[in-house]
Amino acid sequence: MTDNDPLAVPYRERERSVTMERMEEQPVSGSEALVEGDLHEELFTLNIGPHHPATHGVLRLLTTLEGEVVRDIKPIIGYVHTGIEKSCEDQQYWKVITFVERMDYLAYYFNATAYCMSVERLLEEEVPARAEYLRVIHMELNRIASHLFALATGALDLGAITMLWWGCRDRDLVLDLFEMSSGQRMHPRYIQIGGVFEDIPPGWEKKVRGFLDVMPTRLDQYEDLLDRNEIWLERLKGTGVMSQERALELGVTGPLLRATGHPWDLRKAMPYSSYEDFEFEVPVGHQGDNYDRFKVRMDEMRQSIKIVEQALDGLPEGPFITSNRKVALPPRHELATSMEALIHHFKLVTEGFRVPPGEAYVAIESPRGELGCFVLADGSSKPARVHMRDPSFVNLQSLPDMARDSLIADFIACVAMLDPILGGIDR
Partner 1 sequence: MPDATGLELIAQRVRSSVADEAVTGTSYFRGRATLEVAPHAVHDVLAYLQAGDEEPWDALMSLHGCDYLPEEPRFGIHYELLSMERTDRLNVKTRVGLDNANVPTVVDLFPTADFHEREAYDMFGVVFDGHPDMRRILLPEDYTGYPQRRDFPMGGEPVLFTFNENKYPRWYD
Q: Which parts of this chain interact with partner 1 (CB under 8 A)?
A: 2, 4-7, 11, 14-15, 17, 77-78, 81, 83, 85-87, 89-90, 121-122, 124, 248-253, 264, 269-270, 358-361, 363, 370, 372, 374, 376, 384-385, 387, 389, 393-394, 396-397, 426-427
**Minimum CB distance to partner 1, residue 221 (Å):** 36
Length of the chain, in residues: 427
- 376 sits in the region (left: phi over 0; alpha: psi -120 to 50; else beta) called beta
What span, in angstroms and rounded, lies between the C-alpha atoms of 383 and 416? 36
- What single DSSP character describes residue 65? E
Q: Would you say 151 and 297 are in contact if contact means Cβ atoms under 8 Å apart? A: yes
**Minimum CB distance to partner 1, residue 392 (Å):** 11
- 35 vs 269 by CB, closer to partner 1: 269
- 45 vs 87 by CB, closer to partner 1: 87
User: Please, where are the H alpha helices in 183-289?
Assistant: 204-226, 230-236, 244-249, 255-259, 266-269
What span, in angstroms and rounded, lies between the C-alpha atoms of 164 and 292? 20
- 351 vs 359 by CB, closer to partner 1: 359
- 253 vs 406 by CB, closer to partner 1: 253
- 74 vs 347 by CB, closer to partner 1: 74
**Minimum CB distance to partner 1, residue 171 (Å):** 29
- 141 vs 257 by CB, closer to partner 1: 257
Secondary structure of residue 407 in the 3-state scheme: strand
End-to-end CA distance of the chain: 27
Q: Would you say 142 and 107 are in contact if contact means Cβ atoms under 8 Å apart? A: yes
What span, in angstroms and rounded, lies between the C-alpha atoms of 180 and 41? 60
- Work out the number of other CB atoms within 10 angstroms of the CB of residue 262: 19
- What single DSSP character describes residue 398? G
**Minimum CB distance to partner 1, residue 370 (Å):** 6
- 184 vs 380 by CB, closer to partner 1: 380
| Dihedral of the alpha carbons of 232, 236, 237, 242, in degrees to the nearest 10 | -170
- 271 vs 330 by CB, closer to partner 1: 271
Q: Would you say 181 and 189 are in contact if contact means Cβ atoms under 8 Å apart? A: no
* Distances 37 to 40, 45, 54, 66 between C-alpha atoms, Å: 9, 18, 31, 11
**Minimum CB distance to partner 1, residue 29 (Å):** 22
- Work out the number of other CB atoms within 10 angstroms of the CB of residue 152: 22
